[in-house]
Amino acid sequence: MFPEFIDTRPLRRAVDEGLNWVVRNWSDELEAAASPLLVLLKAIENLLVAMPWWLIIAILVGIAWLATRRWQLPVVVLASLLFLGVMDLWTDAMTTMALMIAATLTAIVVSIPVGVWMSRSLRVRQLVTPVLDLMQTLPSFVYLIPTVMIFGPGKIPALIATIVYAAPPLVRLSDLGLRTVDPSVMEASRAFGSDPTQRLFGVQIPLALPTILAGINQTTMMALAMVVIASMIGAGGLGYQVLQGIGRLEVSRGLFAGLGIVVLAIVFDRITQSFGKQLQARIGLAEGR
> Does residue 288 bind another protein (CB under 8 A)?
yes
Kindly indicate which of the ranges 15-23, 153-161, 255-263, 281-289 contains the residues binding another protein, using the contact rule CB under 8 A: 281-289
CA distance 157 to 30: 11
Q: Which helix (H) or strand (E) holds 87?
A: none
Provide, rounded to whole angstroms, the least separation between the CB of residue 68 and another protein: 20
* 191 makes contact with another protein (CB under 8 A): yes
Q: Does 136 bind another protein (CB under 8 A)?
A: no
203 binds another protein (CB under 8 A): yes
Contact criterion met (CB below 8 Å) for 205 and 178: yes
Residues 167-186 that bind another protein (CB under 8 A): 182, 184-185
Q: HSE on the CB side for 208, CA within 13 Å? A: 28
Site string for another protein, 102-121 (x = CB under 8 A): --------------------
Q: How many CB atoms lie within 10 A of CB 133?
A: 12
Binding span for another protein by CB under 8 A among 60-68, 167-175, 190-198, 231-239: 190-198
Backbone angles phi, psi at 233, to 5 degrees: -110, 25
CB atoms within 10 A of CB 164: 20
Per CB under 8 A, the segment of 66-74, 136-144, 214-222, 276-284 that binds another protein is: 276-284
Helix/strand number for the chain, H first, E second: 13, 0
CB of 225 or CB of 283, closer to another protein: 283
Residue closest to 74 by CA, chosen among 238, 271, 247: 271
- List residues binding another protein (CB under 8 A): 182, 184-185, 187-195, 198, 202-203, 206-207, 282-285, 287-288
